[in-house]
Amino acid sequence: MKWLKALLTFIWKIYFLIVVLIVILALYPVQFVLLSNEKYFPQGFRLTRFQAKTILFLIGVRKEVHGNIPNDTETSYIICPNHSSYLDILLLYAAFPNYFIFLGKKELGSIPIFNIYFKKMNLLVDRANAKAAHTSITIACEKLNKGANLVIFPEGTIHKDQPQLRAFKNGAFKAATQANIPIIPITFKDNYKLLEDDWGFFAKAKPGKSRVYIHPPIHPKNGEVDLLTLRTQTRELIASQLD
């Protein structure tokens, strides 16, 4: 029984990869044009949302959103989710209708096909280079001041020991205090159960429900709330909905 379950899980993972490739490649020429010019980024974002929702529908993952999504076009936000699975990115696009960009690791820009989404519209940071990392935060603040929302995974990468949280990095909280931008903590409760960050034969993978908890915004209040306090409050809210 254990081997049969593992075989079905493995087949589902292969199906997941095939669906992702087909959906991306089918619209690749259009996305290549839209994501090559900044004035078309909003259209590229909407097409990316369509692709994400299509992939989730075809693989049988349905979202259940708890909390209110801020719909204030006059305010930018820094969205800080826990990072538990590759499904996290798809669920972010499916759950948030307002335009946002990612601050991600520079390695994402070297992945064939997928790098189209990270080379232009989103921001990449070289974590091994302190000067480059500082420059990325400065550029992120400029984007925030121009009205974009910014997604930063404060853990930096997926923790192997889910659902425990890794130590939070300071980038999101530096940007929040410098630009006086509120943070929205997000908890993905089920993604690691639906698609584990492990491609071994017995790793967890299946369709199902993904619960997304959107917590109330945390405001820096013009510097009154410091970086460490923001980081602690964000971590506590995210952890409050984890098993």
In degrees and rounded to multiples of 5, residue 58 shows phi and psi of -70, -30
What is the distance between the alpha carbons of residues 209 and 178, in angstroms, rounded to a whole number? 37
Domain total in the chain: 1
Residue 191 has pLDDT above 80, yes or no: yes
pLDDT in tens, 16-29: 999 999 999 999 99
Q: What is the CATH number of the domain that holds 160?
A: 3.40.1130
* Interacting residues of 181 by C-beta distance below 8 A, sequence separation 6+: 76, 77, 78, 144, 150, 175, 220
Task: Kindly report the pTM of this predicted structure.
Answer: 0.90
Residues spanned by the domain of 19: 2-239
The structure tokens 């490649």 sit at: 25
pLDDT at 123: 77
In degrees and rounded to multiples of 5, residue 35 shows phi and psi of -95, 10
Identify the CA nearest to 105 among candidates 87, 125, 134.
125
What single-letter DSSP state applies at residue 195? B
Q: Which of 19-23, 82-86, 143-147, 170-174 has the lowest mean pLDDT?
A: 143-147
In degrees and rounded to multiples of 5, residue 118 shows phi and psi of -115, -20
What is the distance between the alpha carbons of residues 237 and 2, in angstroms, rounded to a whole number? 36
Identify the CA nearest to 102 among candidates 134, 127, 136.
136
